[in-house]
C-alpha cells in the first residue's frame, strides 16, 4: 500500500518543494541580471549575456547536472547533490526567464523609456522603475509556465541521487514493484504544486489587467 510509504514520499515531496522554490527564486534573480545585461548600451556586454543565455538554454539540463555533480569533482570542486541541482535549475530557468522578460521589455512603448529619461532617471533606473514593472505584467503567463516548468524539471535531480520526490518514488518502486500506485502518488504530488501555481498566475494576471 502506498500509505505504508507515505513518510518517505512526503520527505521527497518536501525536498522537491524546497528545491523548486529556491531554484525559482534564484532563477528569477539570474533572469533579472541577464535581462539588464542583455539590454545594456555596451555591445560586448550584450554579446556576453546573449552567449550565456544561448549556452545554458541549448545544453540539456541533464548534461548540466551531470557536469556539476560528476564533472566538477575532477576539477577539484565538490558540491552536494542539492547544491548541484539548485545551481543547475536556477541557471537553466534563469535564462528562459531573462528571455521572457526581454520580450516584455521590448513590447513596452518606447515613450516609457523617453519619459523616464526625461525626468532625470538613468537608463538603469528607467528600466527598473518604469519599464520592467510594465513588462512583467505583459509576460505573466509565460513566466508562470516557466515556474511550472522548473517544478517539473526538478524531477531530473533524481539522476544525481538527490532524494527528491522522483528519486524516492523510483527507489520505492524498485523495492516494492508497486509501479502504478507509487507513480500515481508522485504525479498527484507534482499536481499539488503546479495546479495552484497556475491558478495563482491567472488570478494575478486578472488583477493586474484590472489595475492597468
Count of CB atoms within 10 A of residue 51's CB?
Answer: 10
- pLDDT one-digit tens code per residue, 173-205: 999 888 999 999 999 999 999 998 888 878 877
pLDDT of residue 210: 41
Q: How far apart are CA 91 and CA 29, in angstroms?
A: 10
User: Alpha helix locations (H) across the chain?
Assistant: 6-38, 43-58, 61-66, 81-107, 110-118, 123-126, 132-138, 140-153, 165-176, 179-211
pLDDT at 118 over 50: yes
pLDDT at 212 over 70: no
pLDDT of residue 115: 84
pLDDT of residue 3: 81
pLDDT at 151 over 50: yes
C-alpha cell at 190: 507534482
Q: Which DSSP letter does residue 200 get?
A: H
pLDDT of residue 129: 81
Q: How far apart are CA 118 and CA 45, in angstroms?
A: 25
- Cell 513518510 belongs to 7
Q: How confident is the model at residue 159 (pLDDT cuts 50, 70, 90)?
A: very high
Count, residues in the chain: 212
pLDDT of residue 211: 47
Q: What number is the average pLDDT over the span 148-175?
A: 93
Q: How far apart are CA 134 and CA 151, in angstroms?
A: 26
Domains contained in the chain, CATH given: 2-211 (1.10.3720.10)
3-state secondary structure of 133: helix
- Taking a C-beta distance cutoff of 8 angstroms, is the pair 52, 34 a contact? yes
Max avg pLDDT among 28-32, 103-107, 120-124: 28-32
Instruction: Specify the long-range contacts of residues 174-178, CB closer than 8 Å, at least 24 apart.
Output: 176/5, 178/2
Q: How far apart are CA 211 and CA 207, in angstroms?
A: 6
Q: What number is the average pLDDT over the span 154-175?
A: 94
Percent share of the chain, pLDDT over 70: 97
Supply the pTM of this predicted model.
0.88
Q: What number is the average pLDDT over the span 205-212?
A: 60
Amino acid at each position: 500500500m502506498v500509505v505504508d510509504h507515505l513518510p518517505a514520499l512526503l520527505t521527497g515531496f518536501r525536498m522537491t518543494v524546497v528545491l523548486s522554490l529556491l531554484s525559482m527564486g534564484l532563477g528569477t534573480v539570474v533572469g533579472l541580471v541577464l535581462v539588464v545585461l542583455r539590454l545594456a548600451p555596451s555591445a560586448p556586454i550584450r554579446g556576453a549575456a546573449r552567449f550565456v543565455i544561448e549556452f545554458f538554454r541549448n545544453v540539456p539540463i541533464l548534461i548540466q547536472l551531470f557536469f556539476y555533480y560528476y564533472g566538477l569533482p575532477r576539477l577539484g570542486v565538490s558540491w552536494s547533490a542539492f547544491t548541484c541541482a539548485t545551481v543547475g535549475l536556477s541557471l537553466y530557468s534563469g535564462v528562459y526567464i531573462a528571455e521572457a522578460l526581454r520580450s516584455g521589455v521590448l513590447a513596452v512603448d518606447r515613450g516609457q523609456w523617453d519619459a523616464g529619461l526625461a525626468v532625470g532617471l538613468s537608463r538603469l533606473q528607467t528600466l527598473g522603475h518604469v519599464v520592467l514593472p510594465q513588462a512583467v505584467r505583459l509576460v505573466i503567463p509565460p513566466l508562470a509556465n516557466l515556474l511550472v516548468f522548473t517544478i517539473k524539471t526538478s524531477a531530473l535531480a533524481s539522476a544525481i541521487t538527490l532524494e527528491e520526490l522522483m528519486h524516492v518514488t523510483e527507489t520505492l518502486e524498485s523495492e516494492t514493484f508497486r509501479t502504478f500506485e507509487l507513480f500515481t502518488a508522485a504525479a498527484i504530488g507534482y499536481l499539488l504544486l503546479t495546479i495552484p501555481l497556475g491558478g495563482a498566475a491567472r488570478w494575478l494576471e486578472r488583477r493586474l489587467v484590472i489595475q492597468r
